Amino acid sequence: MSLIVKTEIPTYIGSFTAPMSLLNAFITAVALNKKKQALPALTKLETEFEEFETYITRDLGLAHKS
């Protein structure tokens, strides 16, 4: 399956914001509709994100402290 979205905005960030939002909404809708199939795949993906340190999970001291 291919999703093709044409953009005519000359900036890098602006040109991909709308298509990526559409893709995110599509993936979310499919995952909600196919929970039994999607959950194992999303869990595996999250495990790989943690393994390859895709996200920063430690406190960098940037949050406001009360």
pTM over 0.95: no
What are the boundaries of each domain within the chain? 12-51
Higher pLDDT, 59 or 36: 36
| pLDDT recorded at residue 37 | 93
7 and 18 in contact (C-beta within 8 Å)? yes
Summarised one tens digit per residue, pLDDT across range 31-54 is 999 999 999 998 998 899 888 877
| pLDDT recorded at residue 16 | 73
Higher pLDDT, 38 or 12: 38
